[in-house]
Amino acid sequence: MTFPSIERSTALRNSTISNLTLVNITRRVTLGALAVFLGQGITMVGQVSVVPVFLWAWGAERYGEWLTLYAIVGYLTILNFGMQMYVVNRLNQAYTLKKIDEYNLILHTALKLFLIVSCVGGVIVAAFCFLLPFERWLHFVHTTHITAALAGFLLSLQILGNIPMGLVTGTYRTFGELPRGQMIGNVQRSLFFLLTALVLGLHGGLLDVAAVQLLPLIGVTVYVLMDLHKRHPEIDIGISKADWRLAITFLEPSLFFFIIQISGGFTFQGSILLVGAVVGPAAVAVYSVLRTLANLIRQIVGSVNSVLWPELTSLEALGDYAHLREAHALLVKGALALCGTAAVFLHFEAKDIVAFWTGGRIVFDQTLMDLFLIYLILQIPWIASSVFPAATNRHQKLAIAYIVSGALGLILGYLFSSQVIGVGLGTRGVILGVLVGEVLTAGWYVPALTCRILGENLRRYWLSFVFRGTPVLVAEALVAWWISAAIITPAARFILIFLSVAILALVGSYFWWADSEERNRMQDILARVKLSLALRFAKFMQSKN
């Protein structure tokens, strides 16, 4: 058996190292994205599935008390203080440059710091749980003080244990093994939901569930330590080499990562509170459902950002800014094409989707939905660009942009939604304020910051990366509008609009949005991927013979 692609292997293998590196990056990013999407699917299915099991086993009131305990200990996640992001970046840079001694020094220092934080947090939580009658403050009926205290403490151990363990599993990212690390996390997540459902099925109580949920963490911890020792014996996992002077240098950059983390929640939850305060609880339901639908595609972009993150860190450590600029162009164009196409589709089909999803219990607001979609399109360029300063530990100004954008957006949201300045747009005013706040701050500043870091021309960014795709999105909108007007049957309209905008997005992005160099790069990557698959298949066939 012969393979044409194998016959050309000599020519392909003699190409530049940078191209081979890009193919490896593409493979790792693809596998990593699949692993991340699988993890999101496991989480979504698990969260949806265990709710009826909880209600069947415990009833609504006891389940509510359990959720309250979870909410209390949930605040312990802030004890990370953004340090894990910064430290893993530093570890990635050190490993890329083969500075193993520096790698071990950073790892020991951070791990000791995280263990101390977890231990101190555990002591504080134990004091709170066992010494204070918090169950009376929260009006628990079915749960005694000792049960609530023990269950709360066990739940806190999950979060506190994941602080140092998150650093250890984060080392997979530094080795270019993010897919492996993510799949280990997926196994842990699956065991978490399965064991929870099993104990509930056996009529276990709060203490039983809280205890069994610790088992996946313990098991994965043992496995990861053994796996890392076997695969990377050069890495010394311990705390004996910790340097407190080095630990102090972690604090300031970690604080800025912490600001980025909390500012997202600040805007996300703040807008909900604003809608509830100004308009009322009924409007919150409509706002939340439409925002969730609009944000689904953005979550995909966020997942790609997280998968691409360690690769960008490595490229920056090597000083390979040419490939960083190339990745920047492809990421912004790809994210905008995906989200813009989704926005066009949802403009025409969101009403039917929401009606099916909610059983018609949510009153659909087309104008509010369109505002969310416009917000999505305007937000994507700077969200895609933001991963570059974050991945290279140049995130201080990025953090300021995040917090200023969120604060200004909520202030404008309040002014536009209320009668303070005589506008009174209600729920629509909230999202309009958040949108305008981002456009005036992070929307232009973050791309400028990223272009400055990468040595990219800002004018080229806006003209080639962003605005060049406008004709593609306009063509999609016109075709979708024609189909929507011509076809009455909902199912046929849904399928035809989806297929039409997807095909136009692929064709238009390749032949119009991408430049000739990017098309050549994509063709080269596809050729190498086919070569790799052909070689593996040939090797497999030879082993069979």
pLDDT of residue 18: 47
pLDDT of residue 419: 80
pLDDT of residue 234: 92
pLDDT of residue 281: 72
Domain boundaries, given as residue ranges, for the chain: 11-242, 252-514
Residue 225 has φ and ψ, to the nearest 5°, of -60, -40
Residue 1 CB neighbour total at 10 angstroms: 8
Dist CA 3 CA 537 (whole Å)? 10
What are the distances in angstroms from CA 27 to CA 34, 176, 391, 529? Answer: 11, 11, 19, 8
Q: By C-alpha distance, which of 196, 193, 167 is closest to 181?
A: 167
Q: What is the torsion angle, in degrees rounded to the nearest 10, for the CA atoms of residue 214, residue 217, residue 218 and residue 224?
A: 180
Interacting residues of 477 by C-beta distance below 8 A, sequence separation 6+: 344, 347
The answer to whether the beta carbons of residues 414 and 278 sit under 8 Å apart is yes
Q: By C-alpha distance, which of 326, 329, 450 is closest to 388?
A: 450
pLDDT of residue 6: 39
pLDDT of residue 20: 42
Dist CA 121 CA 127 (whole Å)? 10
Residue-by-residue DSSP string for 521-543: HHHHHHHHHHHHHHHHHHHHHHH
pLDDT of residue 368: 93
pLDDT of residue 53: 86
**Amino acid identity for residue 278 in this structure:** V
Residue 357 CB neighbour total at 10 angstroms: 14
Dist CA 296 CA 292 (whole Å)? 6
Instruction: Average pLDDT across each block of 10 residues of the chain; the chain has 545 residues. List them in order.
Output: 41 41 71 86 83 85 83 78 88 91 94 92 90 83 88 91 91 90 93 94 91 94 94 91 91 89 80 84 82 83 86 89 90 92 94 84 89 93 94 92 93 89 85 94 95 94 92 95 88 93 93 86 75 75 72
Write out the two tokens for 4: 């044409």
Dist CA 316 CA 141 (whole Å)? 56
